[in-house]
Amino acid sequence: MARARISPGAAVVAIGALLAIASWPLDAYWTGLLTQAVIFGGAAVGLDILVGFAGMASLGHGAFFGLAGYGLALGTLRWGVNPWLAAGIGIVGSTLVALAFAPLAVRVRGLAFLTVMLAFGQVVWGLATRGGSATGGENGLPGVPRPSLGPWDLSGAEAFYLFTLLMAVAAIYAVVRFAGSAVGQSLIGVRDNETRMAALGYDVRRLRIIAFVVAATVGAVFGALSAAFNGFVGPGSLDWRLSAQLLLSVVVGGAGSLWGPFVAGAGLHMLETYFAGTTQRWPLVLGLLYIVTVVLLPGGIASLPRLWRQRRRSARPAATPRSRSASES
């Protein structure tokens, strides 16, 4: 347990600033790659609230990501509203869908929940692909505009990257605060021992709904960012592969650690872009990566620091025999 000496919020801001500085001289390709990576990383952090904290593995989270994008696209392209308002419509709309579906979904657990969410995602995906001219069907909706923030024009790659970083820092900071709050602790309680939580007076159903909706809202924020970044939404923005990618990012990163899913979500996207451009073997690489993770690192990326400390610790007793740390293990 890394009881952080620096506050987690400060860490989020610091990492955001570092990413901003480090990317300053990058060209448009790298800036774009980093933008999308941050978006997927952020969405995975949101999903970690549901998976790692409340213990509910969802294979339909992409739906909330994509719905917000569709909201933004429909608002700007079909209804002609201001992009900010349209993004608001997308995020609020996606959250409302989550709020409506959550009371049903949280009635089931484990694999049934996974499957209900898979089915939910497929329903949304089906509606998007068969939506005819309203949703653009299989072709999706191209031409989603990027807004400007007052005098700040966000249409350039670099400007939008910085804007995405800003939004990501704000959203992830909020998630980290939430995760460390009394409610976040209660979600861990639900994951660990639902019966005990009820016996303590906690409304478990309500907590599960809260986790569901919070994860969906965070996903929606990054979904809207993604649509604005790509200038496009399509069925690929909410299909089950995206849901699987997000869920696996959480697992590969280490469920419940928040930072691990961010690293995995962003890293997997960058790897994918790199390999997809150079070889047809990306799925094989990805598959092997998953397999190697499970076998060598079952706790995910987040377990690396602990393993590293243990290694250093087990290396030390040779120098200082019978140290306190040796007797602990």
Q: Which of 6, 21, 199, 318 binds other proteins (CB under 8 A)?
A: 199
The torsion angles phi and psi of 273, rounded to 5 degrees, stand at: -60, -40
Q: Which of 28, 126, 276, 312 binds other proteins (CB under 8 A)?
A: 126
Q: Which of 41, 46, 90, 184 binds other proteins (CB under 8 A)?
A: 184
To other proteins, the closest distance from the beta carbon of 15 in angstroms equals 19
Does 170 interact with other proteins (rule: CB under 8 A)? no
> Which three-class secondary structure state does DSSP give residue 303?
helix
Residue 172's alpha-carbon distances to 23, 167, 223, 258, 260, in angstroms, are 19, 8, 14, 9, 13
Q: Which of 209, 251, 266, 268 binds other proteins (CB under 8 A)?
A: 251
- 291: which residues sit within 8 A by CB, 6+ positions away? none
Does 198 interact with other proteins (rule: CB under 8 A)? yes
- Interacting residues with other proteins between 253 and 312 (CB under 8 A): 255, 280-284, 286-291, 293-295, 298
Q: Which of 64, 65, 70, 120 binds other proteins (CB under 8 A)?
A: 120
Retrieve residue 257's tokens. Answer: 């650690």
Binding mask 41-70 for other proteins (x = CB under 8 A): ----------x-----x-------------
Q: For residue 232, what is the DSSP state?
A: E
End-to-end CA distance of the chain: 14
User: How many CB atoms neighbour CB 284 within 10 A?
Assistant: 11
To other proteins, the closest distance from the beta carbon of 294 in angstroms equals 4
Burial of 84 (0-12, 13-18, 19+ CB in 10 A): middle
By beta-carbon proximity to other proteins, the closer residue of 225 and 252 is 252
To other proteins, the closest distance from the beta carbon of 302 in angstroms equals 13
Burial of 329 (0-12, 13-18, 19+ CB in 10 A): exposed
Distance in angstroms (rounded) separating the CA atoms of residues 268 and 255: 16
Binding site for other proteins (CB under 8 A): 1, 51, 57, 104, 107-112, 115-116, 118-120, 122-123, 125-127, 129-130, 132, 177-178, 180-186, 188-189, 192-193, 195-204, 240-241, 244, 247-248, 251-252, 255, 280-284, 286-291, 293-295, 298
